[in-house]
Amino acid sequence: MLVVMHKEATADDIAHVVRVIEARGYSARPIQGGERMAIGILHNRGPVDPNWVLSLPGVKEVIPVTRPYKLVSREFHPQDTVITVGDVRIGNGSLVVIAGPCAVESEEQALTIARHVRRAGAHLFRGGAFKPRTSPYAFQGLGEKALRILAKVRKETGLPIVTEALDHTVYDLVEEVADVVQIGARNMQNFTLLRRASHSSKPVLLKRGMSATLEEWLMAAEYILEGGNPHVILCERGIRTFTDHSRNTLDLSAVPVVRKESHLPILVDPSHACGRRDQVIPLSRAAVAVGADGIMVEVHHRPEEALSDGAQSLYPDQFQKLCEEIAPMAALYTRALKPGIAVGSPKALAST
């Protein structure tokens, strides 16, 4: 339930409402809206009778929240959340491009790819240090060594870093280096990891589990907000279906539905969705057209030698072409770009 305060409500009125809510055994979460304050009631099991709140000084109205997720819902928070990472804003209506290899393999590999993607117009660099692999015999990532390489990449290129925390035991190490901490599809319901992410001040990129409903996904995001970290970016990365022409099926319909249900930014990862290089560019275009806040794409300068996900990694010149193709599309389909600003230019983003 959401308790909406009058514009004229005083700080004392708000504090009083919070005390009354807490005295009933619930928790109260003040939320600053555009014009007025609202107070969310959390941790209630079952519907709350609004009458005891309605009579309190300063209370305007009470809005029942119909969804199981609260803090991530538009009912609680109607305005879009915008996440700031360095000069980059995610969720403000411009299009954000995250690019890089699946895994950091060496300093030379990471720097080479980072220079390419930066030149083409990427805003953030991605690269796994700790890799979730289906086979225990597959390359598991360089771990801490990769984190040191990622720090160098940021220093040299200025690109903020997105990298995955595979479990809560490595979270401290990862958040020290990462500008955005990724929680992967296989970990979307790793509740220990979600709780750890909720105590971090770093933004979290939360991928959709490969068999997760939108409600399960948003409930996973709710864990992070409930624990105190409001900086969550959602990422659709394909779900398991019966198809065998692609690794997964990109659920583009998730984008408008999530946008309606939640104020959190939503990205699309076409690389893991399809698993095949030839599908990445068309699916990226579709992601822009459907209204995603950005895309995350795997790029490798020698994909045939990549230690993971080479088959879905774009060559640098393909990535460059992709950036050129989506620039005019972003001007058409995204919400806040000013005419004449080139998508893909870090300067353009900084000025929005």
Nearer to ligand PEP, 40 or 127 (CB): 127
102 makes contact with Mn ion (CB under 5 A): yes
247 makes contact with ligand PEP (CB under 6 A): no
Longest dimension (CA), the chain: 68
Q: How far is the CB of 141 from Mn ion (least distance, A)?
A: 11
231 makes contact with ligand PEP (CB under 6 A): no
Q: How far is the CB of 279 from ligand PEP (least distance, A)?
A: 15
Tell me the site size for ligand PEP, rule CB under 6 A. Answer: 9
Q: How far is the CB of 313 from Mn ion (least distance, A)?
A: 8
- Among positions 125-184, residues that touch Mn ion (CB under 5 A) are none
181 makes contact with ligand PEP (CB under 6 A): no
Residue of minimal Cβ distance to ligand PEP: 184
Are the C-beta atoms of residues 292 and 309 closer than 8 Å to each other? no
| Region from 31-39, 70-78, 178-186, 327-335 binding ligand PEP, contact rule CB under 6 A | 178-186
CA distance 59 to 278: 56
185 makes contact with ligand PEP (CB under 6 A): yes
Are the C-beta atoms of residues 316 and 120 closer than 8 Å to each other? yes
| Region from 64-72, 102-110, 281-289, 331-339 binding Mn ion, contact rule CB under 5 A | 102-110
Those residues whose C-beta lies under 8 Å from the C-beta of residue 240, and which sit 6 or more positions away, are 210, 211, 248, 249
User: Contacts by 50-57 with C-beta closer than 8 Å and gap 24+?
Assistant: 50/1, 52/20, 52/24, 53/1, 53/3, 53/17, 53/20, 53/21, 56/13, 56/16, 56/17, 56/20, 57/9, 57/13, 57/16
Applying CB under 6 A, among 33, 132, 227, 275 the residue interacting with ligand PEP is 132
294 makes contact with ligand PEP (CB under 6 A): no
Contacts with Mn ion, residue ranges (CB under 5 A):
102, 309
